[in-house]
Chains A and B, each alone.
Chain A
């Protein structure tokens, strides 16, 4: 029913597994980033795969699951400056980055800054959010638009968090039991609606 969301075919690269990555997105250290398939990286998004653990060898810094969306609203704007950056802290005297894992069916809204350690499946993060370092977001949680989640927060499953800018976030309510099905349908639909347009 929903009208398609068009993107220009020249701008996006589509991989074998259906990932659609904008050429206008800044992706640093792509060898350290895993996309699960059918994931959309919108234009203007910044993903820092180069900030990895010190030490030799190959390391996965950021992994995203299937049907994810980073930086929504690419049809309307290119001003999306979403910076996914792995969490870091100083431990045993060493400054270090920690990997970031994002599950399936996760939508991250435009202009959000995500530094979370772990995001579960079926999570919706609104626009203009700041997700602090080492935040853990469990399955089916939702972060409202313009929310600031301070570092080290745990967002339990099926809960809605919201907070005004300059303020701080808090638990608002439990989400309905069928959130998982809803989000799954929405994210799948979004992927099908996201269609190329030759120009």
Chain B
């Protein structure tokens, strides 16, 4: 894995400090920069976990039709046009006409679309399922969902569900009304202290408990009378409070007879299982419950389902409810009316290990024109290894997205030594208490020049750093004989809006795990300053009120440490 930098969003905890980096759980507090948002009002980073999301438009992922939100509910969140999922494999089904009548000469007839012969049916190009198998055919190739609708509506299951909804609707309306008046509830009934918790429960739970106490046909009645007299009085009161006023629901079909009418269960299934020849005849749970309109046991009875709609979402800041993301209305547009992403506010940081980079570059040179790829992969991964007990330099490249120069200061968050990762692997506690590695970063602040549009630079090399190849050998020579003689910590290079700083990590002899540390990045910028000299580190205007400071935490992961014990030769260093 290449070294990475992830940015902290403080939404998961109240403390402004990020969790220790080596804990597994800290992963969830850090995000890649491009997934973060920035709220200008709150001056804070927001992530996908903390923003509030609302749907701005719905569309069908297959026909890309934008469904007006008014009709989404009526269409049950699925495409009401010609889009169906294959119940067998979830591929999109296509409408095909019937084959022309067989000419009888035994020649393989090519399906010819031009004939457009009804009946039409749905066909899966992937698994060759077709809807004629389950008796679904269409008279015309358009408006399939509408043609199927009448079958769906007349199916016993959906009729039953409609009836259930009708049945419960007045009750739900009443309970939602009573829940709004709930606070007056306990005062009206100053019942026993033992039942005070009922005051907190809303009417829904009350209804649920009332429903539990109700007679269930076929189940012997639970009689609290036989248990204790005290509980009887309690339930008696409870009943008077939440009276179950619901009339009893009678289903359209008797459930004991339902298996005969094809809903599954009972002897019909036993019969089917006895004559089973292939496991593929039984539908998988996923096919039954997610891919099929009906939920049959047999694969041959799966019915196609309309494609579920997708949505485009806008996102708001959780604190000030300002909009951070607002997509354009058009479904397939990738533009946004409002897009406040953190990448436009925070400096982007990339980290690299020069020793690994040098090796990969050499490797790339070596391998030009060679055919084997396996060895290259091996060598490439071993190139970025870091061995315990050695010192490695690393480079951080900060690029400034702002139109003003910024002054950055980096600092490492102090490690919590007691929970260092060494504790879990090797037993000796004295050694474990020692921090596995020490990181040194430039202590003084440095500047990163303002962002400028591409055409403002004179040539491409300024922008993309195409001169890396020339730089590397020189830099490499500096490092091989470094050991404190040549400065590796500090500002190494400034180019366009990117500043490259060097750091150094000293890895302990007993260290294992990843070199992973939290880094505080604080930067100051002048909000409206026309002067172009951003490269001065001595900023005289630091005290003026126009200067703004923003700080955020990142976690830098340089990669895994190779423990000493391992017989891995350090030939590649």
CA distance A159 to B334 in the complex (A): 11
A139 touches B34 (CB 8 A): no
* Residue contact B310 to A75, C-beta cutoff 8 Å: no
Which residues does chain B contribute within 8 Å of A176, judged by CB atoms?
34-35, 48
Complex contact A192–B369 (CB within 8 A): no
Q: Is the CB of B334 within 8 A of A158?
A: yes
* CB-contact partner of B90 in A4, A79, A140, A168, under 8 A: A168
Contacts A77-B372, A156-B61 given: A178-B341 contact, CB under 8 Å? yes
Identify 6 residue pairs between A and B in the complex whose beta-carbon atoms are under 8 Å apart, listed by A's number.
A1-B468, A92-B113, A154-B63, A154-B92, A156-B310, A176-B34
* Contact A151–B110 (Cβ < 8 Å): no
**Complex Cα distance A182/B114, Å?**
45
Contact yes or no, A177 B339, CB < 8 A:
yes
Whether B341 contacts A153 by the Cβ 8 Å rule is: no
Q: Are the C-beta atoms of A154 and B64 separated by less than 8 Å? A: yes
How distant is the Cα of A119 from the Cα of B63 in the complex, in angstroms?
16
- Comparing B18-26, B356-364, B501-509, B527-535, the segment that makes contact with chain A is B356-364
Are A151 and B125 touching (Cβ within 8 A)?
yes
Set A8, A79, A138, A195: member contacting B371, Cβ < 8 A? A79
| B332, A157: Cβ atoms closer than 8 Å | yes
* Binary CB contact string for chain A from 108 to 128 against chain B (1 if under 8 A, 0 otherwise): 000000000000001000000
B275, CB-defined interface residue at 8 Å: no
Given the complex of chains A and B, what is the CA–CA distance between A90 and B108 in angstroms?
Answer: 15
Which of A156, A178, A195 is B64 in contact with, Cβ under 8 Å? A156
Interface residues of A in 1-30 (CB under 8 A from B): 1-8, 11
Please name all residues of chain A whose beta carbon is closer than 8 Å to the beta carbon of B411 when the two chains form the complex. none
A:171-199 near B, CB below 8 Å: 171, 174, 176-182, 188-189, 192, 195, 197, 199
**A181 and B343: CB pair below 8 A?**
yes
Best-buried of B94, B357, B464 by chain A (most CB within 10 Å): B464
Q: A4-B468, A140-B334, A157-B333 are in contact. Are A152 and B373 (CB under 8 A)?
A: no
Cα(A179)–Cα(B35), bound, Å: 9
Q: How far is the CB of B66 from chain A (nearest CB, A)?
A: 12
> Chain A's interface: helix, strand, loop or mixed, by majority?
loop
A1 partner, pick from B310, B333, B341, B352, beta carbons under 8 A: B352
Which 3 A-B pairs give the minimum distances between C-beta atoms?
Answer: A150-B126, A76-B373, A77-B373
Establish whether residues A76 and B34, one from each chain, have CB atoms under 8 Å apart when the complex forms: no
**A154: which B residues are within 8 A, CB to CB?**
61-64, 92
B377 nearest CB neighbor, chain A only:
A76
20 more contacts with CB within 8 A, not counting A168-B127, A199-B368, are A1-B395, A2-B468, A3-B357, A3-B360, A4-B466, A6-B365, A6-B368, A11-B369, A73-B373, A76-B376, A93-B114, A152-B125, A156-B59, A156-B332, A157-B332, A176-B35, A176-B48, A178-B35, A179-B334, A195-B469
Give the distance in Å from the alpha carbon of A73 to the alpha carbon of B364 in the complex.
Answer: 11
Q: Interface of A with B (CB < 8 Å)?
A: 1-8, 11, 73, 75-79, 90-93, 122, 132, 138-140, 150-154, 156-159, 168, 170-171, 174, 176-182, 188-189, 192, 195, 197, 199
Q: Are A159 and B364 in contact (CB under 8 A)?
A: no
Q: Contact partner of B464 among A152, A182, A192, CB < 8 A? A: A192
A151 & B112 in contact (Cβ 8 Å cutoff): no
Say whether, besides A152-B94, A157-B332, A192-B460, A177 and B365 are in contact (CB < 8 Å).
no
Contact with A along B139-158 (1 / 0, CB 8 A): 00000000000000000000
Choose among A154, A171, A178 the residue with the greatest number of B CB atoms under 10 Å from its CB: A178
B236 sits at the interface (CB 8 A): no
CB of B465 within 8 Å of the partner chain: yes
Partner of A3, one of B63, B361, B367: B361
> Does B413 have its Cβ within 8 Å of any Cβ on chain A?
no
Most buried by B among A139, A176, A180, A189: A176
Q: Chain A residues with Cβ under 8 A from B350's Cβ?
A: 1
How far is B376's CA from A41's CA once the two chains are assembled, in angstroms? Answer: 21
Contact of A92 among B63, B112, B369, B376 (CB under 8 A): B112
Are A188 and B334 within 8 A (Cβ)?
no
Q: A90-B110, A156-B310, A176-B34 are in contact. Are A197 and B368 (CB under 8 A)?
A: yes
**Is B376 a contact of A177 with CB atoms below 8 Å?**
no
A197 vs B364: C-alpha distance in the bound complex, in angstroms? 10
**B34 close to A182 (CB less than 8 A):** yes
Decide if A93 touches B112 in the complex (CB within 8 Å): yes
**In whole angstroms, what is the CA distance A11 to B464 when docked?**
24
**A78 touching B334, Cβ below 8 Å:** no
From A4, A168, A170, A182, contact of B361 by CB (8 A) = A4
B397 touches A1 (CB 8 A): yes
Q: Which residue in A75, A91, A157, A192 is a CB contact (below 8 Å) of B334?
A: A157
Give Cα distance in the complex from A182 to B334, angstroms. Answer: 13
The residue that A4 contacts in the complex, of B62, B364, B367, B460, with Cβ under 8 A, is B364
CB-CB under 8 A from B114, the residues of chain A are 91-93
8 Å CB contact of B364 from A75, A192, A199:
A75
Q: Which residue of B lies closest to A132 (CB)?
A: B125
Cα–Cα distance between A78 and B48 once the two chains are bound (Å): 41
Is A150's CB under 8 angstroms from B368's CB?
Answer: no
Give Cα A62–Cα B332 distance, bound, in whole angstroms: 23
Q: In the complex where A154-B63, A156-B59, A159-B61 touch, is A7 in contact with B465 (Cβ < 8 A)? A: no
The chain B residue with its CB closest to the CB of A192 is: B464
CA distance A122 to B333 in the complex (A): 12
C-alpha gap A1/B361 in the complex (Å): 12
Q: Please determine whether A4 and B469 come into contact, CB atoms closer than 8 angstroms.
A: yes
Chain A residues within an 8 Å CB radius of B336: 177
Q: How far is the CB of B51 from chain A (nearest CB, A)?
A: 11
